[in-house]
Structure 1
Amino acid sequence: MNVIEINHLTKYYGKHRGIEDVSFSVADGEIFGFIGPNGSGKSTTIRTLLSLIYPTSGTATIFGKDCIKYGKEIRQHIGYLPSEVFYYENMKVIDVLKYSASFYEHVNLRRIETLAGTLDLDLHKRIDDLSYGNKKKVGIVQGLLHEPKLIILDEPTSGLDPLMQQKFFELIQNENKKGATVLFSSHILTEVQKMCARVAIIKDGTIIKVENIHNLRENNYKKFTLEFKGPLNLSCFKFDGITNMSQDEKTLHFLFRGDINKVISSLQGQVLQNMLVEEPTLEEIFIHYYQKED
């Protein structure tokens, strides 16, 4: 069963493109990555899912229900952490969170204390006295206090220090183990690689790839590092399948997709000092897709 279904979703702001023909699905219990640089359309897609904005065309459903028609009902079961959070600055943290809890049915207020303890958040401080990172913690607690079935995260770790980021990841993974589905939107690819099994890559408002991370890294590409004893003969490496080539003195780096025997054959007559073949990082694959589209 898919918790999220997006089909040909398009949003224009007048003549300006927001997103165009976006389609992907998120399965029940999945942590799904949604990656792209700032301005690529991630937030527009998410805001449409939350019925904060209405699409120009296309459809989106959550729990099998239309996001626009049943938006109020659906949001009872969604936890949302936006990229930036804003609150009434004169209120105390606990008052903000209790007010947020009042919008949902059957919230156990002890859960607020538990989440705040995990994130080392002082519930009795005023919002105005909090750092940006601590305001982000308020947003995390607010998004999780009602034990949502679907968690939507938009650039969730900005403002958090590395230790708190790790606590946050553990918290989300624990919610996922309890049954929550997660849509994880970010431009920080190492985070997505750590958390997600599948990703959708978006560029200029359009999905350019939906793929299993394992397949992206292992089946499609290999990362080669070739260190030579003598001069490089780059003409030997001009064949299909090689991308992202760079040279550092006598060392050659590139991604390769295809039969690796082609690479081995191209080395005949050249003297190698060392050769390393490994899986590329998600970031290297991501850059490859963007350069390929360009």
Structure 2
Amino acid sequence: MSDLIQVEHLTKDYGKGRGVFDVSFGVSAGEAFGFLGPNGAGKTTTMRHLMGFVRPDSGRVRIAGMDCFADARRVQEKVGYLPGELSLAGDMTGDGFLRFVASMKHVRDSARCRALCDRFEVDRKNRIRKMSKGQKQKIGLVCTFLGDPEVYLLDEPTSGLDPLMQGRFLELLEEEKARGKTILLSSHLFEEVERVCTRTAMLRAGRIAAIEQVQALRGAQNRVFTLRFETEKAALLFADGLTGAARNGCVVTACVQGSVDSFLKRAACYPVADLQARSQTLEERFLHYYGGEEQ
């Protein structure tokens, strides 16, 4: 498949280390591609270039063969875009704003709008300025999926949504992917990208640290265990020789990759008073796989 989205050596330097630097990746037609990174990594800057809002200092950004800045209007006609920071007309009702956006997009059939509103339980009667962040985000989502865009550019799309609505959004994204839509999903949550995307670019400090198959990242996920032992001696014996373990008194914290079977069997040999487990945060995984700040 040809790359429908092409980013080639994109650089935009805002000074003091802010911006994006020599960013290159491609997204094939019909592919769902993740864009992972902590806040400030350069995800939104890249998205804004793809929408033609910003002219790059150097490099090229194209969608469907069109230059995203020179042909911004034509590009935007193909794209459903959800910005990371929504700016909505506060004095309009939800219904009025949706009708306004539908008219701008030349969407005459209101059936899809109604279906999306029902799906996300959108408040269409109140004025937008009185809505919660979550309700405003739902309005933004409905606007993004109105019509039948060829490409979706989604910048932190589940911000402000409760877990139920996050799940419904991801279900919708999977449906659009099955319909052959091309998706670029920007997020700092690995779980979002893992469910929908086949590949992901990992950004750090405005540069791509890696582009990986999501399946490979899934297999490399680590678990962080915090164990509190009944005695400091037990904690010392358990941690002794255990790779990736740190001890503080009776508490041992350890990072485990892959199967946890042998780790738990080892812990069972000692008097454990408490055990907690969590997945590594994205920042921890970045530091683990791509080194510290000096690298």
Deviations 1:39-92, CA, capped at 9 Å, x for gaps = 111100100111111110001111122211221101111111112212222112
Whether the aligned pair in 2 keeps the contact of 1:90 and 1:127 (CA below 8 Å) is yes
Distance 1:137 1:184 in 2: 17
1:221–1:83 CA distance, 2 compared to 1 (3 A): closer
Q: Say yes or no: does 1:253 pair with 2:244.
A: no
Q: Which amino acid aligns with 1:62?
A: I
State the partner residue of 1:289: 289
State the partner residue of 1:135: 136
Q: Provide TM-score, normalisation by structure 2.
A: 0.80
Q: Which runs of 4+ in 1 moved over 6 A?
A: 221-230
Whether the aligned pair in 1 keeps the contact of 2:238 and 2:267 (CA below 8 Å) is no
1:101–1:234 CA distance, 2 compared to 1 (3 A): same
1:42–1:63 CA distance, 2 compared to 1 (3 A): same
Distance 1:141 1:157 in 2: 13
Identity among equivalent positions (%) equals: 36
State the partner residue of 2:273: none
Whether the aligned pair in 2 keeps the contact of 1:49 and 1:67 (CA below 8 Å) is yes
Distance 2:226 2:115 in 1: 51
Q: Say yes or no: does 1:124 pair with 2:125.
A: yes
Distance 2:26 2:61 in 1: 10
Distance 1:252 1:47 in 2: 41
Equivalent position SS for 1:99: helix
Q: Give the drift of 1:5.
A: 1.0
Equivalent position SS for 2:140: helix
1:174–1:119 CA distance, 2 compared to 1 (3 A): same
Q: Give the drift of 1:168.
A: 1.2
- Which structure 2 residue ranges, 5 or more long, are not aligned? 270-278
Whether the aligned pair in 2 keeps the contact of 1:31 and 1:183 (CA below 8 Å) is yes
- Which structure 1 residue ranges, 5 or more long, are not aligned? none
State the partner residue of 1:216: 217
1:149–1:247 CA distance, 2 compared to 1 (3 A): farther
Whether the aligned pair in 1 keeps the contact of 2:239 and 2:247 (CA below 8 Å) is no
State the partner residue of 1:103: 104
Q: Provide TM-score, normalisation by structure 1.
A: 0.81
Equivalent position SS for 1:69: coil
State the partner residue of 2:184: 183
Q: Say yes or no: does 1:91 pair with 2:92.
A: yes
State the partner residue of 2:14: 13
Equivalent position SS for 1:159: coil
Q: Which amino acid aligns with 1:199?
A: T
